[in-house]
Structure 1
Amino acid sequence: MEITGDEIRRRMIEHESLDPGGLKLVGATITGRLDLTDVVAKKPLVLHDCTAEAPVLLGRAQFSLLDLSGLAAPMVEARGLAVDHHLRLSGARLSGAESIDALHMRIGGSVYLDEGFRAAGTVTLSGSRVAGVLACQGGRFEDGLNLVDLHVGDGIFLSHGCEVSRGGSLAALRMRGTRVDGQLILRAGRFVSHDVAVDLRHMSVGRELFLPFESVEGLIRLEGLTYEGLPRDATVDEWLSALPLRTPNYATQPWTQLAAAHAAAGHERDVRRIRVAQQRDLRRRGQLSRWGRVWHLIRGVTVGHGYRPGLALVWLAGVLAVSVGVVLTSGAVRCSAVEQIGYALNVATPLVKVDTARCTVDTATGAGQLVLASTWLLQVLAWAFATLFVAGFTGLVRRNA
């Protein structure tokens, strides 16, 4: 069956004469250009498994339902399209360099780009509003999927066979600034780029985030991404590996979001691990001065940036052991061996004092002078480690930078 694009336009303009089910064509070949720009038809338009030789133009058109399942065409232009219920492109095959240009759509139901949908060119739904779900299970997007500043009510499903790829500098999947009130699911999908594969910057997910890093072949941008609950489909260890190694640069917010999610779940041990890993990433890739890096390293080694204050006690014990070793091996301290140990602890321990009145140091010898100098230095270090322990324990040196 053949039908001209002009005939379809005429029927939809005269939609009042149509059956309440609207216009339905199955397996038709549409000759000429199907131009439904600015057509307002409060009836369904169903073009199942139809073939169009020219781009399908739907700019600013209005329908109660639009079903283009199985459509074979160069592209669909649908800027400003309004549909009261669902927009279906399940199984459609679009061959143009720009397969879908659908900025600022208003869809009262759901959008389906699934069940074998194929787009050789770019698919853009940016700035649109979808009340239901955006379903792309089993869809293939060969030159990127742009979902920038999208608002979706129930959920976005880029899962179970959804494949998005792109060459060049732009991300394969771009969702910057998008808001989804429900779930974002990338489970069992595949997202491929030589640079950034997935861009989720400043995205808001109202419920769970399902993000398996194994599905992403390339870098991922997460700055400003927020979500409810714990992220799913990736372990804490996988997040601790992905954030420093799979993101283009250091950013504080993805670390703090992850830590806050685990804190809300009561996983304090994981929160400490996340915070320490964040500080390592800050030191490696953050914008710190030379002295800032030195101090950052000292805090990391001594107290784990305030999250492992027990490390300072280990260092303090090491200082005491060195003090005892210096005193016992110097031969310049005159008293018994037990008293020499007490003397070494006395001069190096900030808080504990023992009676070592009978011990004297022969300062006339080089060994005695070395003992005095080394114990002074060790006392400074002991005070420093004790202070760091107290500060780390009370949280005074924690910096969520």
Structure 2
Amino acid sequence: MSASTTTPAGRTGPAFPIDTVRLGGPDGPAIGVQGFGAMGISEFYGGTDEAAARDTLDAALEAGVTLIDTADAYGHGANEEFLAPFAAAHRDEIVLATKFGIERHADDPLRRGVNNSPAYIRRSVEGSLRRLGVDTIDLYYMHRIDPAVPFAESVGTMAELVKEGKIRHIGLSEVTGAELREAHAVHPIAALQSEWSLFSRGVERTAVPAAAELGVTFVPYSPLGRGFLTGAFADASKDLADDDFRRRQPRFNGENAARNAALLDPVRAIAADHGATPAQIALAWVQQRAAVHGLTVVPIPGTRKRARLLENAAATRIRLSEAELGLLEPIAGRVAGDRYPDMRYTSEEREA
């Protein structure tokens, strides 16, 4: 284990870089045990200082955070374009992941659909390659399942893109264990990205066991519960900007928000014992929970601040005791409200 030092966040943390794992098994590329979710740079969480965001990307590389995650849907492609200069400068140092499948509509930012037709996948990959300024996408995800298109047909199209050299590895997002096995039978799946945190543990029913069985790397998105697990706010109507998408999330509003804020008491207490932040405890929990299942995990918390990035990365060195894990165990079962206002395209909805 690396020696400790003091992070810019002012808390004790490890000397960087963080440890590495192999994406999708022993033959995959080495990546840091924590990745970076770039979504919030372009939209959803209010305005962005682009200079600060670029400095945060530099901090990620310094810390050994090398899996950089985006999607064509983030900012209607603007997120990929924002990452292009960084990707060009550090192409051999990072593993670049993007996604297709969520159709956005310029005339209505809230309107979206899912399209996994072969023709759409091919248009999408060409668009992402162009915006990112790369010849090959390292990890290409199906963002959501399209019930109108046979699943195996969509995965088969992705497999063709691997043969053509346009993508290196295939990923899926928000699929059940049965769906992961079906896709893996068509072509090896390197990564499964779904929401997994102290607040959201539905993936442990079938997706996590299937990923562990198949050797698929699990990439938890929103490992901080979209920021709720940081303890920074309690009521979206009071604490969030008008254009912050969390104002529409059931868990962030009204009585739900008040009930969920009260669930953070043990997280805060454990954080105090470790000289850490609640966010660091939440991230450490994801790492250790995955180990229980014998699963390789690379969470992708997002931030636009250098200090927060380094704080998050330092969480990879925190080890929680069995007693502490026991105190955190009941939290998910007490969370009020769904993850999204519309759960139709989530794996939980298809398992219900």
TM-score computed with the length of structure 2 as normaliser:
0.23
With CA pairs under 8 Å and 6+ residues apart, which has the higher RCO, 1 or 2?
2
TM-score computed with the length of structure 1 as normaliser:
0.21
Q: Please identify the structure whose Cα radius of gyration is greater.
A: 1
Give the strand-richer structure, 1 or 2.
Answer: 1
Give the helix-richer structure, 1 or 2.
Answer: 2
